[in-house]
Amino acid sequence: MGQLKDRMDADLRLGGYSPTTRRIYLLYARLYAKHFMRSPAEMGEEEVRAYLLHLIEERKVARETVKQAKAALAFLYGVTLRRPVEVEHLPVMRKRRRLPVVLSGTEVSMLLDAIASPKYRAIMMALYAGGLRISEACMLRPENIDSKRMLIHICCGKGGRDRYTVLSRRLHDYLRGYYRMCRPTTWLFPGRTRAGHVSPEGARLVFYKAFATTGIKKKVTPHGLRHSFATHLLECGTDVTVLKAMLGHSSLRATEVYTHVSVEHIGRITSPLDLLGTKAAEVLG
């Protein structure tokens, strides 16, 4: 894409998009150009539609992948190329609400025990202890850990929003030991990315390797630890609006999906039948 890539990257930076979003948008723009072996400037609506159908019908990628590709091309044509007409009539994919896969407390312990590296174990603990996204955990700085108020300050989360979430005492104690051992400076979890922090891709690889050794049959990604955090807190009676703030959701609707997976919480509810008198039971003797 050459100069077009540079201009799109500049537009994304001017728009305040996060490094992760910039990387994803530029990736899909590049894959789109590679698919047709032509510059996006030479193409338009028909090619965009054909590429998205290719992803859906031939590549059979996940809906979230199609959504990201569509958003990237909408930005490319709507902002960088200043041709919004090419993408304004693309149909919106109907949402399919899937329940997240949740690990039990025992399964979370098994996973954490399977991770030998103190750094990566701390990252996975943060995902479960505070409901962080993996990119948020990888980009934590030492000053984001507020030991006095027992809070984690997440800077520039999804959508560029800052927020606070709970700092688990167990995570706090573990991080103290990790800090004394590793002495991190700029980043809490240093790594080989250009910025100097550990990469989310590297953390995912550690997660999958450790998960494979646990024998757990569920299909779970690192994001499943965030799902488990939310579900387990709901089961303990945490208010859904408080949970929304800790997760950094822009809409309560996104948080309410966890009310459908809180099986233990539902199991503690008394059925209205059990609140009736004994007459109905007496009929059956």
pLDDT(284) > 50 = no
Kindly state whether residue 100 falls inside one of the protein's structural domains: no
Q: Which residue(s) pair with 165 in the sheet?
A: 152
Kindly state whether residue 91 falls inside one of the protein's structural domains: no
Task: Tell me: do 69 and 111 sit in the same domain.
Answer: no
Residues catalogued as catalytic: 133, 158, 223, 226, 249, 258
**Among the listed residues 203, 206, 209, 218, the one whose alpha carbon sits nearest the alpha carbon of residue 107:** 218
Tens digits of residue pLDDT in 101-151: 899 999 999 999 999 999 999 999 999 999 999 999 999 999 999 999 999
CB 258 within 8 A of CB 238: no
Q: Decide: helix, strand or coil at residue 146.
A: strand
pTM listed for this prediction: 0.69
Domain ranges, residue 246: 105-267
Mean pLDDT along residues 57-66 = 90
Task: Tell me: do 189 and 235 sit in the same domain.
Answer: yes
Residue 193, CA distances (Å) to 70, 125, 159, 190, 199 in order: 27, 21, 21, 9, 6
DSSP 8-class letter at 80: I
Kindly state whether residue 285 falls inside one of the protein's structural domains: no
Tens digits of residue pLDDT in 118-132: 999 999 999 999 999
Q: Say what the pLDDT of residue 237 is.
A: 83
Task: Tell me: do 69 and 198 sit in the same domain.
Answer: no
Task: Tell me: do 131 and 19 sit in the same domain.
Answer: no
Task: Tell me: do 116 and 231 sit in the same domain.
Answer: yes
pLDDT(36) > 60 = yes
Tens digits of residue pLDDT in 191-242: 999 999 999 999 999 999 999 999 999 999 999 999 999 999 988 888 889 9
Torsions phi, psi for 154 (to 5 deg): -95, 120
Kindly state whether residue 118 falls inside one of the protein's structural domains: yes
Task: Tell me: do 11 and 76 sit in the same domain.
Answer: yes
The CATH number linked to 35 is: 1.10.150.130
**Among the listed residues 28, 196, 210, 227, the one whose alpha carbon sits nearest the alpha carbon of residue 133:** 227
Overall domain count for the chain: 2
Q: Say what the pLDDT of residue 257 is.
A: 80
Mean pLDDT along residues 58-84 = 94
